[in-house]
Amino acid sequence: MDLLLIGPPGVGKGTQAARLRQALGVPHLSTGDLLRRHVAEGTRLGAAAAAHMQRGDLVPDELVTEMALGQILGPSCAAGVVLDGFPRTPAQAEALDTALAAHGRRLTAVLHLNAPARTLLRRLTGRRTCGGCGDSYHLDTRKPRTPGRCDSCGQRLVQRTDDTAETARTRLAVHARQTQPLLARYHQAGVLHEVDGCGDVGAITRRLLAAVAPYAAGDQDASRSTGWPTSPVRSSLS
C-alpha cells in the first residue's frame, strides 16, 4: 500500500505518519527528516539544501526527487510506504507517478490533512523536537514530564530553526503556492480523501485509518465501498 499524507506544515503529518506506520506496518518516509539528517551530517546534498530549508523555501526538485525515489524504490519500501512531505510540487508528483508506474505501483490513496492557518501557526511555533530521538512536543498541548527534556530518551528539546514565526509563515505560503495545486491532480485520479486535522491526535489517526480501511481490506476502489466514514472530496477541487 503506497499512501501519501499531504497537508500544510504544522498539520501533524509526521506524527500521524508514524502512527500509520505502526498501525499498518508500512514504513514512513519523511523527506524533511531525511534532509535534516543530510544537513546534520554535512553531506553535499545537505549543504545544497540547508539555505533553502532555513528560509522556509523548498529544496530544488532535482535534489529532492533523486533522494526520495532512491528510498521509495529501494528494498525497505518495496511492499509500500507512507509518504510524508513528498511530493510537494507538480514536477515531483509527475516523477513519482512515473517511477511507481514503472514498477507496477501507484499511489493507493492520498490523505489530505488540513487545519485553519491560525492553528497551524500555533502548532509550528510551539513545537519542540528532541535532538536525540526526534520525538515531537508542544509548549501548550504536549508538554514533556521534565521541562526541556525528552520523555523517551532524556535528550534536550530544541526548536527547529524553521519553526520560528516568520519562517513558519513563509512555509505556509510556499505550501499554498506550490503544493496545494497537487490536490486537483489527485482528485482527478480519484485517490484523494479529505481528513480533518483538528482535535485529538488519536481521533485524527482514527479518521485516517477509516479513510484507508477499504484499501487495507483489499478494496482498491473506495468509492465502491459503503459505510466507511471517509470524508468526501470538496467539489471545489474539480
d(CA 111, CA 115): 13
16 makes contact with ligand AMP (CB under 6 A) = no
Is 88 one of the annotated active-site residues of the chain? Answer: yes
With CB under 6 A, what is the number of residues at the site for ligand AMP?
18
**In this chain, which of 64, 107, 113, 130 binds ligand AMP, going by CB under 6 A?**
64
> Is the bond preceding residue 181 a cis peptide, omega within 30 degrees?
no
> Residue 48: CB partners within 8 Å, gap ≥ 6?
59, 60, 63
Q: Which residue is nearest to ligand AMP (CB)?
A: 32
With beta carbons less than 8 A apart as the criterion, state whether 195 and 111 touch.
Answer: yes
Is 37 one of the annotated active-site residues of the chain? Answer: no
d(CA 37, CA 32): 9
**In this chain, which of 7, 8, 9, 12 binds ligand AMP, going by CB under 6 A?**
9
**In this chain, which of 7, 8, 12, 85 binds ligand AMP, going by CB under 6 A?**
85
| Residues within window 24-53 making contact with ligand AMP, judged by CB under 6 A | 31-32, 35, 52-53
Binding mask 121-140 for ligand AMP (x = CB under 6 A): --------------------
| Burial tier of 236 (Cβ tally within 10 Å: 0-12, 13-18, 19+) | exposed
Tell me which residues are annotated as active site.
13, 88, 127, 160, 171
